[in-house]
């Protein structure tokens, strides 16, 4: 093996968690999109649009984190949107109907999200059935229960400060929601990098049997990961409440499914588990938000949006695949 290949492999290993090369390519693509949109649509760089991009980005980032938390164990969470909307309606109910103080209501909604996620994890760990089918079923249970209880009636006389928080601008440009999303990202980064529990989650995701033999309580770790996923989905839901200034039963659901996977997968989180890309998920979410907003400003309309998002997800998966193959070939010594 040549020295060059050795150094490349060790570099890859060192940055294996984040997959830096993938993120570098992603950053270039994002920059290209920004350049094109700024050039074709003068309104794209206006303070107003930047503010709304940032606010939408905050929600996309946290939705991506919610999926990432489940992907870390090698599972997935199809109920991200359902838990999100359950948190939205619970938060709205606590604030409006029960007139509880806003922080208490937020705490209650986040608690519900974590509990619903925990329930997913508990059933998955106990039954050994794939996370896909359990969360597909629970997504419908949660959404169905929400619709039965709320009769799909929106709650739109929330306390004024909720909507005001969503409209607040730091330095006339940045939404506090984006600051929250970045803070969540920082916490998650430290959690997966440096905490024992975070390392245990990644170990269980990489190889459940080996982790179990090394004394990792795999079932508990999976349950906690799904509770974390639910907590993050609820956080995204509360951000949407602040953004809309109301609790809408049409939020979340299946609309969050694709974005939740786009962020982590574009950012380099493997579906097979064992690794997370926190910064990558943020970049992936930025790409999604950029494209959505750019098409809106260019007035191309929302109809084609899904085509672009689907094609981008495909391209990302293919590029990642071929990069892995290429590196594999480079790593094998020539005879």
Partner 1 sequence: MTLFRRLLLVEWSGLAVAILLGALALSVIAPNFLTEFNLYVMLRSLSVGLLVAFAQMVTLGVGQMNIAVGALGGLTAIIFGATIELYGFPLLLAIPLALAIGALGGLINGLLTARTGVNAFIITLATASAFTGINFGITGSIPFYKMPASLVAFGDHHLGAMPYLLVAPLIVAFLLGLFFSRAAPGRELLAFGGNPQAAELSGISRERVVVSAHVLSGLLAAAAAVLAVAQLGSAQPTIGADWLLLSFAAPIIGGAALTGGHISVLGTLFAVLLLGLIQNGMVLAKVDPYWVQFVLGALILAAVGLNRWRAVNSGVA
Q: Which of 5, 159, 308, 327 binds partner 1 (CB under 8 A)?
A: 308
Among 86, 94, 105, 123, binds partner 1 (CB under 8 A): 123
Site for partner 1 in 149-178 (CB under 8 A): 151-152
By C-beta, is 39 or 304 nearer to partner 1?
304
Among 170, 180, 165, CA closest to 235 = 180
- State the CB neighbour count (10 A cutoff) for residue 27: 15
Contact partners, residue 74, CB within 8 Å, separation at least 6: 205, 206, 208, 271, 272, 273, 274
Q: Does 319 bind partner 1 (CB under 8 A)?
A: no
Count residues binding partner 1 (CB under 8 A).
45
> Binding to partner 1 by residue 298, rule CB under 8 A?
no
141 binds partner 1 (CB under 8 A): yes
Which tokens hold the place of 22? Answer: 């993938």
**Binding flag, residue 306, partner 1 (CB under 8 A):** yes
Instruction: Give, in order, the Cα–Cα distances in Å from 117 to each of 70, 279, 287, 318.
Output: 10, 23, 27, 31
Cβ proximity to partner 1: between 72 and 178 the closer is 72
What's the closest the beta carbon of residue 301 comes to partner 1, in angstroms? 8
**What is the rounded CA–CA span in Å between residue 113 and residue 101?**
19
Find the shortest distance in angstroms from Cβ 48 to partner 1: 27
Helix ranges restricted to H, the chain: 3-14, 20-40, 47-71, 80-92, 102-127, 131-150, 160-167, 176-194, 196-206, 208-213, 218-244, 257-267, 278-297, 305-331
One residue of 24, 48, 132, 326 binding partner 1 per CB under 8 A: 132
Q: Which is nearer to partner 1, 227 or 295 (CB)?
A: 295
Q: Which of 200, 261, 280, 286 is in the footprint of partner 1 by CB under 8 A?
A: 261
User: Is 311 a residue that touches partner 1 (CB under 8 A)?
Assistant: yes
Question: Is residue 265 involved in binding partner 1 (CB under 8 A)?
Answer: yes
Please report, as ranges, the residues that interact with partner 1 according to CB under 8 A: 76, 123, 127-130, 132-134, 136-145, 147-148, 151-152, 254, 257-258, 261, 265, 271-272, 302-311, 313-314, 317-318, 321
């Amino acid at each position: 093996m040549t020295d060059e290949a050795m150094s490349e492999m060790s570099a890859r290993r060192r940055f294996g968690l984040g997959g830096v090369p993938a993120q570098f390519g992603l950053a270039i693509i994002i920059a290209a999109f920004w350049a094109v949109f700024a050039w074709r649509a003068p309104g794209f760089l206006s303070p107003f649009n930047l503010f709304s991009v940032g606010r939408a980005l905050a929600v996309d980032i946290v939705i991506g984190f919610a999926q990432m938390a489940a992907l870390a164990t090698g599972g997935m969470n199809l109920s991200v949107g359902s838990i999100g909307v359950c948190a939205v309606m619970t938060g709205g109910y606590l604030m409006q109907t029960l007139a509880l103080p806003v922080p208490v209501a937020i705490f209650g909604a986040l608690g519900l999200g974590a509990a619903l996620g925990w329930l997913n994890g508990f059933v998955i760990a106990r039954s050994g059935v794939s996370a896909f089918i359990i969360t597909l079923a629970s997504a419908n249970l949660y959404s169905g229960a929400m619709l039965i209880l709320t009769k799909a009636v929106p709650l739109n006389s929330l306390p004024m400060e909720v909507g005001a928080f969503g409209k607040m601008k730091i330095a006339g440009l940045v939404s506090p929601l984006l600051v929250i999303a970045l803070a969540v990202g920082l916490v998650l980064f430290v959690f997966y990098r440096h905490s024992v529990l975070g390392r245990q989650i990644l170990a269980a995701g990489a190889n459940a049997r080996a982790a179990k033999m090394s004394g990792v309580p795999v079932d508990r770790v999976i349950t906690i990961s799904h509770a974390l996923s639910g907590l993050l989905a609820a956080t995204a839901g509360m951000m949407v409440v602040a953004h809309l200034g109301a609790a809408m039963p049409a939020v979340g659901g299946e609309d969050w499914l694709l974005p939740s996977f786009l962020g982590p997968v574009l950012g380099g989180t493997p579906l097979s588990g064992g690794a997370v890309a926190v910064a990558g998920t943020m970049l992936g979410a930025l790409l999604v938000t950029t494209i959505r907003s750019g098409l809106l400003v260019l007035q191309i309309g929302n109809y084609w949006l899904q085509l672009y998002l689907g094609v981008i997800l495909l391209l990302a998966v293919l590029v990642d695949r071929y990069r892995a193959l290429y590196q594999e070939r480079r790593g094998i010594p020539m005879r």
